[in-house]
Amino acid sequence: MKNVLSNKILAWYDNHKRDLPWRSYQGFQDKIYKVLVSEFMLQQTQVKTVIPFFTNFIEVFPNFKKLSKAKLEKVYKLWQGLGYYSRAKNLLKTAKIVQSKYNGRLPADFEILKSFPGIGDYTASAIMAIAFNKDYIGIDGNVERFIARLFGYKNNKKKFKNSILLKLKEIKSKKNFSLFAQALMEIGALICTPQNPRCSICPANKNCISFKKKDFNYKILKKKVNIKRYYLLYAKQKNKILFLKSKKKLLQDFVNLPLIEYKKNLFNIDFKKNYFFFEGKPKIMNRDFVHNISNIKMLIKIVFFKRISKINDNQFYWIHFKKIDNFLLSNFSKKFIKLVRTENIKYV
């Protein structure tokens, strides 16, 4: 029965898998490299978002050798819009290690993979299975949901994840590890979706306890959303916008619109002490916006400064509106600039 189930899953994947760019490769080493890059990009990011970034990245850096020689600024530029820039920096570090220490060939060793920057248990398992066809399975949210429903598990006990792993070991393919790992992810993404699963076309519906009971809910342990409130300081003079140089080492090549986290009234904040001198009182704009980073929800109030009399040049840039795209911007800064460009924002 177990082999029959894995064969059903593999047959479905063979006929219905998506045509994704990291599944198209020329030779074994090309496959390994593309799997690695895709796994870095897919961390906390949807497939449809990753596809154009992956395609552009591979055109510029088609292998470990090319990537290992790259400047971080160029890697960041290609990554801009994907977010979580630590992934880009870690990918570059990994490429340099692979090129210098392993002659440009990624080792097929789980523990060595985990020693590389940015690679944990899940990513190492996915690479071992997909790239090297080894007896591993990366359990992401899609795989976990599919297996939980298949066996009627509820995520309400400490041993839930271990139960998922044990069942996977029972039903997994005995040799097609790469295809089976991808098939599980694909079914979870395309059929066994969080809402309205497409059970009628699922290859495992006859074996699925949730389908038989018509009960597709299982408790999802969500991360607690932390709400943080900020003032975005928007200063503009002669078609130039004031940007703050990033203080974080990871984002040292980035510029941001200045943010101040607040827990008190705007006019009780000492702007002179924190950032710059301004003439007159700042105005609060009539548009606020929300920006999400992982489990943090940023509620941002936009504050407009008409005239700035003095700034610390070591901390700030004045960037002409037409030249903003030449700089590396954080995602929330890009989001706001897009808003400025597409809508007539006025302050009150």
| Catalytic residue annotation | 39
Query: What distances in angstroms separate CA 285 from CA 148, 162, 206, 279, 282, one per listed residue?
Result: 48, 51, 57, 17, 10
SS3 269: coil
**CB-based burial of residue 96 (10 Å sphere; 0-12 exposed, 13-18 middle, 19+ buried)?**
middle
Both tokens of 250, joined, read 């990871």
**Contact present, 253 and 73 (Cβ < 8 Å):** yes
Structure tokens belonging to residue 148: 């939980």
8 A C-beta contact, residue 241 and residue 308: no
Q: What's the CA gap between 57 and 59, in Å, rounded?
A: 5
Cα–Cα distance list, 167 to 153, 189, 297 (Å): 11, 19, 36
* The pair of three-digit structure tokens given for residue 8, joined into one six-digit string: 């059903």
Nearest one of 239, 253, 234 to 306, comparing CA atoms: 234
Question: DSSP character for 207?
Answer: G
Decide: 260 and 233 in contact? Cβ < 8 Å.
Answer: yes
Number of residues assigned to the chain? 348
Q: How far is Cα 54 from Cα 32, in angstroms, rounded to an integer?
A: 14
